[in-house]
Structure 1
Amino acid sequence: MKFTFAHNNFNVIDLDKSLKFYEEALGLKEVRRKEAADGSFILVYLGDATTSYQLELTWLRDWEKDSYNLGDNEFHLAFETEDMEAAHAKHKEMGCICFENPAMGIYFINDPDGYWLEIVPAKRS
């Protein structure tokens, strides 16, 4: 028996704001969407047009709080980039860098709901 990664899910408060952020910050685009017949939820799957891996954003109509409890933000998704300098400059301009570790050559950005996303240099062989 073999298992492969399919997607991760983040619940979001403002779906449109999140979609705009993920496209601007990481180039992720909507690849499919599922809306509940009763309007109670919307699932939007984002892809990078390179891998089959997807990020599922879930909007829940009846969520009554203005945020999600993300604990200590000890979990995250990581994204590779070929151009760390340009990525860092873009994210700095967007004001979304939340933590930097220059010694490791990485940094983190946070999305509109506070999820942390790690930016790492692409592995070179």
Structure 2
Amino acid sequence: MRLLHTMLRVSNLDKSIAFYTQILGMKELRRSENAQYRYTLAFIGYGEEQSNTVLELTYNWDTDHYDLGNAYGHIAIEFDDIYQACEDIKAAGGNVSREPGPVKGGTTEIAFVKDPDGYAIELIQKK
């Protein structure tokens, strides 16, 4: 068994794909549309679905806003250099919501960014 994907509902598919591919360096792996039920699915990630966990971005054509609620936490991504990643994200117009540094009460170095819909993404410094 393995974890296949995490699904996020997005309000603007093009803007979300641009964020995850151009700012976080993922690749769009596949896309499918369902005209009858008015939605598009885009699968993105750092590697092919056969051997990697990916994100499924779900765009419901008739919805332009979602309430994120208070149960969602974050997606975590390991980076070789979170300090440089945050500088690159800011330079590309991304939102760094917590600057890089040690986690409270620990030594792991983390940062947080937000995607176009406000989903939190934790950047974790590779050890």
What TM-score results when the alignment is normalised by the length of structure 2? 0.83
**Which residue of structure 2 lines up, in the alignment, with residue 9 of structure 1?**
7
Distance (whole Å) between structure 2 residues aligned to residue 77 and residue 54 of structure 1: 11
What secondary structure sits across from 1:102 in the alignment?
A: strand
**Which residue of structure 1 lines up, in the alignment, with residue 59 of structure 2?**
59
What TM-score results when the alignment is normalised by the length of structure 1? 0.84
Aligned residues: 119
Distance (whole Å) between structure 2 residues aligned to residue 73 and residue 90 of structure 1: 29
**Which residue of structure 2 lines up, in the alignment, with residue 97 of structure 1?**
96
Q: Are the equivalent residues in 2 in contact too, given 1:73–1:116 (CA < 8 A)?
A: no
- Considering only aligned residues, what root-mean-square deviation do their CA atoms show, in Å? 1.9
Instruction: State the one-letter code of the partner of 1:107.
Output: A
Runs of 4+ in structure 1 off by over 6 angstroms are none
Q: For residue 4 of structure 1, report the CA deviation from its aligned partner.
A: 1.6
Identity in percent: 37
What secondary structure sits across from 2:102 in the alignment?
A: coil
Deviations 1:83-112 (A, max 9, x none): 222102112322411123623221110000
Unaligned 5+ segments in structure 1 are none
